[in-house]
Every structure is written in C-alpha cells, then in structure tokens.
Amino acid sequence: MDGATNRRRFLTGALAAAAGTAMGTSCEERVLAAARRATAPAAASSRPPAGAAKPSAGAVPAGKLGTRTVSRIICGGNLISGFAHSRDLAYISPLLKNYFTDEKVFETLHLCEQHGVNTALLRCDAHVIGLLDRYWNQEGGKIQWLAQVYPTETGPQTNLQQAIDGGAMACYIQGGFGDRWVKAGKVDLLERAVEYVRDRQMLVGIGGHVIDVPIAVEEAGLEPDFYMKTLHRSDYWSFTAAGKHDNSWSATPEQTAAFMEKVRRPWIAFKALAAGAVPPKQGLTFAFEMGADFVCLGMFDFQVADDCRIARQVLAGTLKRKRPWRG
C-alpha cells in the first residue's frame, strides 16, 4: 500500500470519526469531504515516474550563482525536515514530519523539477543526505542541493565537509549563526567557515535574519558568493496585531533593500511569504521588486504548480526594481 493510499484512508477515517461524534455533519466537514473526494484521484497519481522530472509548464526564469544556473525560485527545506514557524500551534511540526514521508519528499522534488525549479535548499544532516542519495541514484532526480550548514567555533568543520562530500552544489551558513556571531562580534568565525568551503572549490554564502549580518560581512571585507537574507512585507494581520511572536522575520525590509541595493553579490531572500501569512503573488512581487535575485520558498507538493505559475507571471511582468540583477 503506497503513502497516498494510507493518507487517504487516514483522512477518510478521521472525517468519519468526527462526523460520528456530532449530532450531524457541519458545513466545514462537508466542504472538506468534498475537497477530499475531488482531489484524491489526482493525489494518487501526481508523482512523476523516476526520470520524468522534465519541465511541463515552462521553466521558472533562472540566474547564476557563480557558474551554476539556479532557478529564481528555490525550493525551501524547512517543511520537508519538519520545521515550521506556526505561531503557537504546537502540533504543526509533528504533522509535517508525518506528512513528509520519504515518498512525499520525492514527489515534491519531482514536481519542483517538473515545474521549472532546479534547486532545493535543504539542511545538511544524515536524513537529508540519505534522501538525496536515493532521489538522485534511484528516483531519477536531478535537483541541485544548496546545503544549509552549521559551522563550529572550534574543531573540525564536520558538517560543512558532510555537505561537500554529500554532493551539494553550494553551502550557506545558517542564518542563526550569522545573527549570533555578528551580535557577539565574532565575524572571524564566519570568515573561517567561508574559507573552509572555498578552499574546497565550492560556492559559499552567509545567512542572516537581521540586516546587521550583511553589513558586518561587507565591512569586514569577506567575500561570500551570495547572501541569504530574510525579506517580507509587514502589513499582514499577525504581524500588525500580535507583535513579534514567531510571526515576523524581516523587521527592516526597507533598510534591507536600501543596503542590498549597493551590494554586488547575489541575494537569496527567504521567509518571503512570512511562513504562509502573505499570498504568493504579493510576497514574490515584493521580494523581487525590493531587490532579491532569488527567493527560497517552502512549498507543499500541492502548492508547487501554482507557486511556479505565479513566479513566472511575476517575473514576466514589469517589476519596479531599483537593484540590478546580481545573479
């Protein structure tokens, strides 16, 4: 029995159980049941066969990281690894871990390739390395791996070496390290990690959630190949109504855009949809108009086609963009 069949049976049982505990079926339950019936056949057959990851709806426009061609939409990996910014909903991460079975990960990556996304940003850990080995060598996948890496302050850079040995096309230092080390005045640790990766002939970037990170790196004269920096609108409800409680990651979007306009290195924006609070068209238009060269976008399998279609439309339109394309 495949994963899709298991999930359909689970949903069927869950809906039936919910109906049995109430006096009748609510409007919401009827809507959900109708949606499940309408989408179940497609879900069962949506995964492309091995080796069939060819663009079916036109490729997403691409740019360059070094000599690598990278789609301007990059598939994010938090959802695949079970990490979610979910405000105060404690069940979301376990839900993701149960949803994203190995088969579902493969299906999602195949769909990304089908719809023109050629790169995925994924954590560097044993689970991801094993999945990618199977995806590339057994599932016929070709997607490029941009590895999110975790350098150490002292001792060997084991995680960075794992990414290199595991087939990553580039590494970037995870944003939490950028934030923490810049705040502590330890930019030299970022330099050490950059040099380690570059000495092994691989592209390397630096991530951060605060604008202080690229500012400090530029002032120190480091030369990463690219930056990862958060960017999103700040007019969505949970930002304006609740303040900063796991619902905002780009506190200074205008300052970020103004500084990055002067930076000549490629910039990958992430958290562009504020973890699902901003609609894709609004979030992507904002990110590209504010100067991002690429956007890292977390996507469920059922979102891939629409998100890629929207990205193509946004990039084909007239963007009010001041910053030259740097990648």
The total of other beta-carbon atoms located within 10 Å of residue 91's CB is 9
Q: Which CATH architecture has domain 62-316?
A: Alpha-Beta Barrel (3.20)
The CA distance from 53 to 110, in Å, is: 5
Q: Which amino acid is at 153?
A: E
Q: Tell me, what's the pLDDT at 34?
A: 41
The CA distance from 307 to 301, in Å, is: 10
DSSP 294: E
Q: Tell me, what's the pLDDT at 6?
A: 45
DSSP track, 236-266: SHHHHHH-SSSS-S-S-HHHHHHHHTT--S-
Token representation of residue 324: 């030259």
Token representation of residue 83: 């990490």
Q: Tell me, what's the pLDDT at 16?
A: 38
Q: What is the per-residue pLDDT across 128-141, written as a single tens digit (0 to 9) for each?
A: 999 999 999 999 99
The CA distance from 255 to 242, in Å, is: 22
The CA distance from 14 to 8, in Å, is: 10
Residue pair 142/118 in contact (Cβ under 8 Å)? The answer is: yes
Residue pair 124/166 in contact (Cβ under 8 Å)? The answer is: yes
Q: What is the per-residue pLDDT across 25-37, written as a single tens digit (0 to 9) for each?
A: 333 334 334 433 3
Q: Tell me, what's the pLDDT at 54?
A: 52
Residues in the chain, pLDDT under 50? 1-53, 55
Q: Tell me, what's the pLDDT at 285?
A: 96
Q: How far is CA 314 from CA 12, 214, 310, in A?
A: 38, 27, 6
For tokens 């301007």, the residue is 72
Q: Tell me, what's the pLDDT at 48?
A: 43
CA-based nearest residue to 79, from 61, 60, 63, 101: 101
